[in-house]
Amino acid sequence: MQSQEIIYIAGGPAYSKFRKEKLLGKLQTINKQIKDIYSEYLHIIWCEKKITENDKTTLEKIL
């Protein structure tokens, strides 16, 4: 029996500085109490079998 595995790896920022500031400005017109926003990519990897820590480290570097 194989051990399937799902791995979650946080990625880089989802918005450039320009887009983040633009979106923040729009949100602040709705609610002045919003001071900052944060977003990032989330990579979800489904593996047919359990991977090694070495493989996971390689994935983190690639993504």
Q: Are 51 and 7 in contact (CB under 8 A)?
A: yes
What is the DSSP track for 33-51?
T------EEEEEEEESSPP
Q: Model confidence over 5-34: pLDDT tens digits? A: 999 999 999 999 999 999 999 999 999 999
pLDDT value, residue 37: 98
Helix, strand, or coil (residue 59): helix
Q: Could you tell me the pTM of the whole model?
A: 0.72
